[in-house]
């Protein structure tokens, strides 16, 4: 819990520095393109722009993207790390497809799955899943093989080894990979929400920009940034719960 509290105070400090720089920039430039922070915050809670409706759509897409990436990527990574045959078969495919810029696949995904929520979720899955697979696989491979031999000699089976050794050894690495992937996935979500939708923070920010409503535009950027920050705190809390040895 001390780690979470320390991170919280660091965020407060960084936020104060950020707001100070923002106020200074707004004062120096003195143009509508950089409004003051208090104007943006006031607009968030008093405008009729339904910004929180757009936020709900973005949260839903990120949530399902992370869940599906974990459901598919984590087991694949565990199997690749534990069974050499899986690793030899899947590693060439992973290494071939991982470097492909996923955002370039957006037109194909939209042609195949339409313009609704599904292509947005799929894009997030494509961003996150490879990092989860590799983190889980590498975490398993770092386990000393002698641990397995000792447990086998004591009568343990593969299911017991997975539950008691493999999964605990890889959880922290997977959560760390999620921290890295979440920031990228939010950026991709912003881009995908500017196509074929009328809801989402990406649509809200670009629409405000096109209407020259810079206060709303900055409000959308601020909300999207806080969404990423909250996701980081959630991941810290999940790590604190699931990885007590790292407290």
Helix H or strand E segment including 245: none
CB neighbourhood size of 111 (10 A): 10
Helix-helix angle 2-29:37-46, to 10 degrees: 110
pLDDT score at 245: 67
d(CA 238, CA 232): 10
| Banded model confidence at residue 3, pLDDT cuts 50, 70, 90 | low
Q: Specify the higher pLDDT residue, 148 or 93.
A: 93
Asked if the model's pLDDT at residue 247 lies above 70, the reply is no
d(CA 231, CA 201): 16
User: What average pLDDT does the segment 151-165 reach?
Assistant: 82
CB neighbourhood size of 216 (10 A): 22
List the structure tokens of 55.
Answer: 């936020």
Q: Specify the higher pLDDT residue, 76 or 52.
A: 76
pLDDT score at 125: 92
Average pLDDT score over the chain: 86
Query: What domains are there in the chain, each with its CATH number?
Result: 52-209 (1.10.3720.10)
CB neighbourhood size of 179 (10 A): 14
| Banded model confidence at residue 98, pLDDT cuts 50, 70, 90 | confident
Asked if the model's pLDDT at residue 1 lies above 60, the reply is no
Q: Nearest 5°: CA angle at 50, between 45 and 56?
A: 100
User: What pTM was computed for the model?
Assistant: 0.84
Q: What does the DSSP assignment read for 13-59?
A: HHHHHHHHHHHHHHHHH-STTS--HHHHHHHHHH-SS-HHHHHHHHH
The residue among 136, 169, 139 whose CA lies nearest residue 151 is 169
Cβ contacts of 148 within 8 Å, gap of 6 or more: 161, 165
Predicted confidence (pLDDT) per residue in 161-220, tens digit = 888 888 888 988 899 888 888 888 888 888 888 887 888 899 999 998 988 889 999 999
| Banded model confidence at residue 67, pLDDT cuts 50, 70, 90 | very high
| Banded model confidence at residue 12, pLDDT cuts 50, 70, 90 | confident
pLDDT score at 2: 62
Cβ(70)–Cβ(156) below 8 Å: no
pLDDT score at 218: 92
pLDDT score at 4: 60
pLDDT score at 64: 92
| Banded model confidence at residue 97, pLDDT cuts 50, 70, 90 | confident
């Amino acid at each position: 819990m001390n780690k979470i509290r320390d991170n919280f105070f660091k965020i407060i400090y960084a936020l104060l520095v950020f707001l100070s720089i923002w106020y200074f920039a707004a004062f120096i430039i003195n143009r509508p393109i950089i409004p003051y922070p208090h104007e943006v915050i006031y607009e968030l809670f008093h405008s009729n722009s339904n910004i929180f409706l757009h936020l709900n759509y973005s949260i839903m897409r990120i949530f399902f993207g992370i869940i599906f990436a974990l459901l598919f990527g984590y087991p694949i990574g565990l199997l690749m790390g534990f069974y050499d045959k899986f690793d030899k078969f899947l590693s060439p495919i992973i290494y071939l497809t991982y470097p492909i810029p996923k955002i370039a696949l957006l037109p194909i995904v939209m042609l195949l799955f339409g313009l609704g929520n599904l292509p947005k979720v799929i894009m997030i899955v494509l961003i996150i899943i490879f990092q989860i697979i590799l983190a889980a696989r590498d975490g398993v491979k770092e386990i000393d093989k002698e641990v397995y031999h000792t447990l086998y000699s004591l009568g343990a089976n593969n299911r017991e080894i997975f539950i008691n050794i493999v999964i605990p050894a890889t959880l922290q690495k997977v959560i760390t990979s999620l921290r890295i992937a979440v920031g990228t996935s939010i950026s991709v979500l912003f881009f995908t929400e500017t196509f074929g939708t009328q809801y989402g923070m990406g649509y809200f920010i670009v629409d405000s920009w096109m209407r020259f409503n810079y206060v709303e535009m900055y409000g959308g950027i601020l909300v999207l940034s806080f969404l990423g920050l909250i996701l980081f705190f959630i991941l810290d809390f999940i790590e604190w719960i699931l990885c007590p040895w790292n407290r």
